[in-house]
């Protein structure tokens, strides 16, 4: 079963706001995925989920794919 965390929960929950990409992957037994991210974009592993979301939206905006607010 996959867990989808609504953006509002990421922004308002103290425990979720501290959750990093690395912690989420390990919580879902995705150690191999951690190794893959570490090999290609290691800076993402230490980002909190909300900061990662913002970074992705900003990058999409820079490329004209999505407008960030």
- The pLDDT of residue 47 is 94
Residue 17's domain comprises 7-62
How many domains does one find in the chain? 1
Angstrom distance (rounded) from CA 68 to CA 47: 19
Whether 2 maps to a domain, the answer reads: no
Provide CB contacts within 8 A for 38, sequence distance 6+: 45
Percent of the chain with pLDDT over 90: 29
- The pLDDT of residue 45 is 93
Whether 34 maps to a domain, the answer reads: yes
Q: Output the pTM of the full model.
A: 0.68
Residues lower than pLDDT 50 in the chain: 1-2
Alpha helices in 1-69 (DSSP H): 7-12, 14-17, 21-27, 31-40, 49-62
């Amino acid at each position: 079963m996959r867990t989808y965390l609504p953006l509002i929960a990421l922004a308002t929950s103290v425990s979720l706001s501290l959750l990093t990409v690395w912690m989420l992957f390990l919580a879902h037994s995705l150690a191999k995925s951690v190794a893959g991210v570490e090999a290609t974009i290691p800076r993402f592993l230490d980002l909190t989920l909300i900061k990662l979301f913002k970074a992705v939206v900003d990058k999409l905006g820079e490329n004209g794919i999505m407008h960030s607010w």
